[in-house]
Amino acid sequence: MEPLRTGDPSRIGRYRLLRRLGAGGMGVVFLARAPGGAIAAVKTVRSSYAEEHGFRARFRREVETARQVSSHWVVPLLDADADAETPWLATSYVPGPSLSEAVHTFGPLSLASVRVLGLRLAEALEAVHGAGLVHRDVKPANILLAPDGPRLIDFGIARAPEGTALTSSGVVVGSPGFLSPEQAQARGGEIGPPSDVFSLGCVLAFAATGVRPFGEGSPAGVLLRTIYEEPDPGSLPEGLAPLLRACLHKEPGGRPSLARLREALAEDSVGDSAGASGWLPAPVTRLINDRSAAVLTIGAIEPTQVSASAASDTVDTAGKAGNASPEAVTMTAVTATRPMDGAIGRRGFLRLGSTAGLLAAGGGGAWWWNSRTKPGTSTPSAKGPQRPQLVVAFHGDLTGAHKESGKAQLNGAQLAVEQLNRRKGQPFSLKLRAYDDGGDTRRAGELATRLTQDAEVLAVLGPTTDACFRATEKTYAVASMPIVSVSVSMVSQGLSTDSKFIPNHAALHVTDGLLAAPCVRYLSDHVDARRVFLVDDRAQGDFAWSLCDQSQRALRQGGRQVTVKQVAAGKIGYPSLAAEVKAARADAVVFTGDAARAAGFASALAAAGFTGTRMATERALEPRFLASAGAATNGWVFATGFTDPTARASGRAFTAAYRSRFHTDPGWYAAEAYDAAMFLAKVCDQDGTAARERIAIARRMSDITYAGITRTIKYDTGFGYSREAMYEFEVVKGAFHYLGQYRDAAVS
């Protein structure tokens, strides 16, 4: 990304321009923000093209045809204006690199990753062809990489096969090296879906080997080799060579259909791990996270003039807290507790207590709390029409190390189900069954197997932890089980039973590395920190490294001085660490460890007389932090992926109902779980009828928008469901005080 240049507009249509993404033959592409906060890529058209006779009419037709393409793996068209002085179009923004950039920077992909790439691009092209279009420029530069799969872009030369000026004979359209022979010979009338299959074969060969099938060099030479020569054997990886040779057949009729291509790739992918634990290599995933964080912090890291006092090496520039969000109130840290017997809800509700039964599952097991009817309430009359009942499983940690979070999530989901089932006109009722993995990965895996084999279970809420999610991911994905999680900081791959990849995981929690965004914004806009000390606690693994890496890049871009200190996963020498902070003359510190280690560091900083800004993440936001460090905790600020519903106007009714139902304030993630259950219910509602198949539910998740009490849940290409799910808290007088959503909380 580059800053806007002199002469660049500040707005195009309803989009506010933020950065330049690049410029090409057709025009300039900008990073932009829509009024609702969504990030988009806005592409303008050069005046020389706009002034051509018939261009605007063709552009208008292209926009209409592009709107017909509907696929999760195709970057969607959001908006366009063919009649503007400078014609433009806006698409969803994908922060990942192109396939071309990834291969050139990090090397070829593994065969498992290439199979995922091929499966999903084949599905994307099926959507393109289903709309009556041929893409005509399938190449690595037009494929962007995201954590859940690739995205096909650039329909600037996609045309209906029947023909326009650009599909007529005599005009070569596309990129040499990835064109079909019929394109290379400008046989316009013969260019149909098989042409895209040929190009896809070239792309997969390049992805697997880094070698173009028909070599490098002059465009004319590459075109001639495409027409008359066989592909370079070095470009065809062992294991995929027969299939790719078929895709690269000189005659269109000799190439496999996209359906056959998907089938072959799915057969070959059996046993591969890419679809279960991340389809991209770790360096590419880190690059995507870095770019995602950079986009989230735009507007918070602009270089500002350094004052004379801030520039001095001898002046303490400790930041002072500014005004909080209008939503801010003080609260005491609370945990979810088991409801009293008198608070049992209506049908479909789960209760923690003596009615629990142990379901054996191999060597492990799962607790299943059955529903009971509250005395004095009635069940639906047998005389009236019976609504279909959809079964949803709650899979979480209810007895292990994260039981407080798990119970809070269960309580929030219970409340949602209770309110949903009371609604008149609701086309179905939900039955919630709760299962406990105890935070044990083996039990979590056994439980996932049990739930996928239960035909009644149509979706799962949970799990609670990343470790248990990793243990269940492949099992749930292969079964196309829809998963909605609120505290898992990972995205999932989804392998369906019909050989198509379906994103079956709606991860409502922000990925941990992106918590750098609220940290950077607070340090930049709220306290204007100039020397920041980042503590990379190796006990937290990649999370700590990623947060420190992304934070330091963004802060340095904003003109801040940054020191990164790595501490071992074992014992920390807190006094010496605090002394290093003082020696660096830091005016802010960010600690990435858990509550116990953060408490030790807080006490050491207080003893050393450090008065600057102190930040941590939700991993330290626990009552034991307050209890262990006492007065030393005051002023600490936390970046989290959960909100406090008691402090939000939108959460008042939920908070009152929760207190009445469970006799306690909502615990962390309770409100998010409430929204997750309501979101899932909306997904299951197909125009007034109940969705009864897992695949159908999974497919609908990314298409549904739900305005919840915590935020609006909506899938955003490149960012998933969690782009705005970041918040900030501060310790005030020994209690956690909610500051608000991070963009609001960080405004001075």
The per-residue pLDDT for range 375-422, each reduced to its tens digit, is 333 334 434 557 899 999 999 999 999 999 999 999 999 999 999 999
The most confident of 43-52, 230-239, 353-362, by mean pLDDT = 230-239
Confidence (pLDDT) at 493: 52
CA distances for 543 relative to 147, 225, 380, 474, 601, angstroms: 16, 48, 49, 22, 19
Which pLDDT score is estimated for 630? 95
pLDDT range class, residue 330, cuts 50, 70, 90:
very low
Q: With respect to CATH, is domain 11-92 assigned 3.30.200.20?
A: yes
**pLDDT tens digits, 628-649:** 999 999 999 999 999 999 998 8
Cα–Cα nearest to 199, from 132, 244, 253: 244
The fourth-level CATH superfamily of domain 513-640+730-745 is Response regulator (3.40.50.2300)
Cα(325)–Cα(346) distance, integer angstroms: 37
Crossing angle of helices 652-662 and 670-684, in 10° steps, is: 100
- Alpha helices, DSSP H only, in 562-622? 574-583, 595-607
The whole-number pLDDT of residue 492 equals: 62
Domains 342-510+674-701 and 513-640+730-745 share a fold: yes
pLDDT at 373: 31
* Mean of pLDDT values over 470-498: 79
310 pLDDT more than 60:
no
Cβ atoms of 533 and 581 closer than 8 Å: yes
pLDDT score of 17? 93
* Residues annotated as catalytic (active site), given as ranges: 137
CATH number of the domain at 99-280, please?
1.10.510.10
For the chain, give the mean pLDDT: 81
Reduced to 3 states, what is the DSSP secondary structure of residue 25? Answer: coil
Nearest-angstrom CA–CA distance, 667 and 644: 8
Q: What is the pLDDT of residue 286?
A: 84
User: For the residues 693-716, what does the mean pLDDT come to?
Assistant: 90
- Please compute the mean of the pLDDT values over residues 27-32 and round it to a whole number: 89
Confidence at 187, pLDDT banded by 50, 70, 90: confident
pLDDT confidence of residue 2 = 84
pLDDT digit string (tens) for 650-672?
Answer: 999 999 999 999 999 999 999 99
pLDDT for res 399: 95
CB 355 within 8 A of CB 369: yes
Residues 425-431 have a mean pLDDT of 92
Contact 390, 684 (CB under 8 A): yes
Is 447 a residue whose pLDDT tops 60? yes
* Whether 330 contacts 733, CB under 8 Å: yes
Q: Where do the domains of the chain lie?
A: 11-92, 99-280, 342-510+674-701, 513-640+730-745
What is the model's pLDDT at position 690?
A: 92
pLDDT band at 321 (very low <50, low <70, confident <90, very high): very low
- Identify the architecture of domain 342-510+674-701 in CATH: 3-Layer(aba) Sandwich (3.40)
- Listed range (446-455, 495-504, 556-565, 717-726) with the worst mean pLDDT: 495-504
The pair of three-digit structure tokens given for residue 180, joined into one six-digit string: 């079909």
Q: Report the pLDDT value the prediction gives residue 167, as an integer from 0 to 100.
A: 36
**Rg for the chain (alpha carbons), in Å?**
27
pLDDT of residue 311: 31
Residue 9 pLDDT greater than 60, yes or no: yes
Residue 354: pLDDT over 90 = no
Q: For residue 384, give the 3-state DSSP assignment.
A: coil
Tokens of residue 168, six digits? 């007529």
pLDDT digits (tens, 9 = 90+) for 135-158: 888 999 999 998 888 999 876 544
In the structure, what pLDDT confidence band is assigned to residue 240 with cuts at 50, 70 and 90? very high
pLDDT in tens, 449-468: 999 999 999 999 999 999 99
Q: Are 485 and 507 within 8 A, CB to CB?
A: yes
Burial class (CB in 10 A: 0-12, 13-18, 19+), 10: exposed
Instruction: Kindly write down the DSSP assignment for every residue of 195-253, as one continuous string.
Output: HHHHHHHHHHHHHHHS--TT-SS-HHHHHHHHHHSPPPGGGS-TTTHHHHHHHT-SSGG
| 8 Å CB contact between 352 and 674 | no
Residue linked to tokens 């070239």: 202
Print burial letters for 289-326: b (CB count within 10 Å at least 16), e (below 16): bbbbbbbbbbebbeeeeeeeeeeeeeeebbbeeeebbe
Q: What is the pLDDT of residue 266?
A: 84
Q: Which residue has the higher pLDDT, 117 or 326?
A: 117
The two three-digit tokens of residue 623, written as one number: 């009552």
How does pLDDT run across 615-631, given as a tens digit for each residue? 999 999 999 999 999 99
Whether the predicted pLDDT of 171 surpasses 90:
no
CA angle 244–246–248, rounded 5-degree value: 70
Contacts of 24 (CB under 8 A, 6+ apart): none
Q: What are the tens digits of pLDDT across the range 592-617?
A: 999 999 999 999 999 999 999 999 99
Q: Is the pLDDT of residue 543 over 50?
A: yes
Model confidence band, residue 69 (pLDDT cutoffs 50, 70, 90): confident
Helix then strand then coil, in percent of the chain rounded to 5, is 40, 20, 40
Q: Are 590 and 551 in contact (CB under 8 A)?
A: yes
